[in-house]
Amino acid sequence: MTASGVTPYAQLRQDLAQRDKSLREKVVTLEEAASFVPDGASVGLGGSTMSRTPMAMIWQLMRARKKGLTCSRSIISTDGDLLFGSGICDHIITSWFAQGILWGLSKVMRHHVENGSANYEEWSHMAVGMRFRAGGMGVPFLPIRSMLGSDVLRIRPEAKEIDCPFTGEKLLLVPALNPDVALIHVQRCDAYGNAQMDGLQFMDIDLAMAAKRVILTTERIVSNDQIRRAPDQTKIPFFCVDAVVEVPYGSAPHECYGLYEPMMKHMSQYVAQVNKAPVEGMREYLEKYVYGPASWNEYLSLIGLEEILEASQRGRSIYND
């Protein structure tokens, strides 16, 4: 890694040359997938805000008591709270960090950032996207025309202002971001990792291309024949993917397009609890919902059948005319 945080091209190529890119089955358990994420890793998170959050994988990383992770995401929500609150991550790269617009500021984020125990590295939304895109393109930077003149740039010395060699205009170069591991939740994929996403893709395709490893969690594993019947729906190719975990409701309590909307009762209860007591409230939440349950299914049953059914009914209604 260079001083700018950009991975040297030779290193990127070498890492990829050593990856097993063959068409092979990669289905593992959540516990096994967590072993792909070493302490101190840079972790890219798929989805955005309350949508297609790789929550089950984050949940498993907290249970595995990971340490020193740096996480990047387009926009981060309660998953960012959990990452800071559990102590597994002390640095988040994103453009917006709160539980959701309905609830105002995140007291959990504020607690950890204002007391200096964690760092929220702010970039513009497009800058985060162009950093993943540069990473996915195998170039060290991309030029953009936002952030210029603002204080968002003033506190981001990693970005470089230049005069365009063709036009002389001011442009901003944002450095490539190639996370060590990407965690992406999708509606379906096959055992090889050919992933199909419905609805909003956010930055996930660039993230998958940029990352040095990709762990997919999926609502369901389908056959390779089924993937091949609609290859135009495949958004992430198998050779980017290192592990596949089947986790129904793997984004809960956030949404997964076409399947379930956010579980708002659980979300509101969570926000009330942790914003009232960012440390103690979070500790109790983690005990009850993260460390306590024997399995992801047991966690889901704590959220409750009624709420999950309501969220599913709303989720599926997107396809109603």
Partner 1 sequence: MTEAHRYTATEILAILSARQLKDGQVVFAGVGIPLLAATLAQRLRCPGLTILFEGGVVGAFVEPGKLPPSTNDQRCTKRANMVLGSTDVLLLLQRGYVDIGFMGGAQIDQFGNLNSSFIGDPAHPKTRLPGTGGGNDISSLTNMIVAMKHEKRRFVEQVDFITSPGFLRGGTSRADSGLPAGGMFRVITELAVFGFDDAERRMKVLALNPGVSREEVQDNTGFDLVFDAQNAITEPPTEHELSTLRMLDPERLFTA
Interaction of residue 109 with partner 1, rule CB under 8 A: yes
* Burial classification of residue 70, based on how many CB atoms lie within 10 Å of its CB (0-12 exposed, 13-18 middle, 19 or more buried): buried
Interaction of residue 40 with partner 1, rule CB under 8 A: no
**Which residues are CB-contacts of 266 (< 8 A; sequence separation ≥ 6)?**
253, 303, 304, 307
- Which residue in 159, 184, 205, 247 binds partner 1 (CB under 8 A)? 205
* 12/50 with CB nearer partner 1: 50
* 58/144 with CB nearer partner 1: 144
Interaction of residue 249 with partner 1, rule CB under 8 A: no
Residue that has been written with the tokens 């708002």 in this structure? 264
Least separation, in Å, of the C-beta of 51 and partner 1? 5
Least separation, in Å, of the C-beta of 110 and partner 1? 5
Interaction of residue 94 with partner 1, rule CB under 8 A: yes
The amino acid at residue 101 is I
* 257/299 with CB nearer partner 1: 257
* 104/292 with CB nearer partner 1: 104
Least separation, in Å, of the C-beta of 46 and partner 1? 11
Burial 90-100 (b: 16+ CB within 10 A, else e): bbbbbbbbbbb
278-282-283 Cα angle (round to 5): 125
* Residue 8 Cα to chain centre, angstroms: 23
Interaction of residue 172 with partner 1, rule CB under 8 A: yes
- Which residue in 15, 87, 91, 122 binds partner 1 (CB under 8 A)? 122
Is 281:273 a contact under the CB 8 Å cutoff?
yes
Query: Per-residue contact track with partner 1, 125 to 154, x per CB under 8 A?
Result: xxx-xx-xx----------xxxxxxxxx--
What is the SS3 assignment for 126?
A: helix
Interaction of residue 279 with partner 1, rule CB under 8 A: no
Interaction of residue 102 with partner 1, rule CB under 8 A: yes
Of 52, 36, 5, which is closest to residue 247 (Cα–Cα)? 52
* Residue 177 Cα to chain centre, angstroms: 13
- Which residue in 5, 199, 237, 293 binds partner 1 (CB under 8 A)? 199
Interaction of residue 307 with partner 1, rule CB under 8 A: no
User: Total number of residues binding partner 1 (CB under 8 A)?
Assistant: 61
Stretch that binds partner 1, among 81-89, 119-127, 182-190, 218-226 (CB under 8 A): 119-127
Interaction of residue 85 with partner 1, rule CB under 8 A: no
Q: Give me the sign of the Cα torsion angle 9, 14, 17, 18.
A: negative
Dihedral of CA atoms 201, 205, 208, 211 in degrees, nearest 10, equals: -110
Least separation, in Å, of the C-beta of 89 and partner 1? 16
**Which residues are CB-contacts of 91 (< 8 A; sequence separation ≥ 6)?**
69, 70, 71, 118, 119, 121
* 10/168 with CB nearer partner 1: 168
Dihedrals phi, psi of 129, to nearest 5 degrees: -65, -40
Which positions touch partner 1 (CB under 8 A)?
48-51, 74-75, 94-98, 100-102, 105-106, 109-110, 113-114, 120, 122, 124-127, 129-130, 132-133, 144-152, 155, 161, 169-172, 199-206, 255, 257-258, 261-262, 264, 315, 318
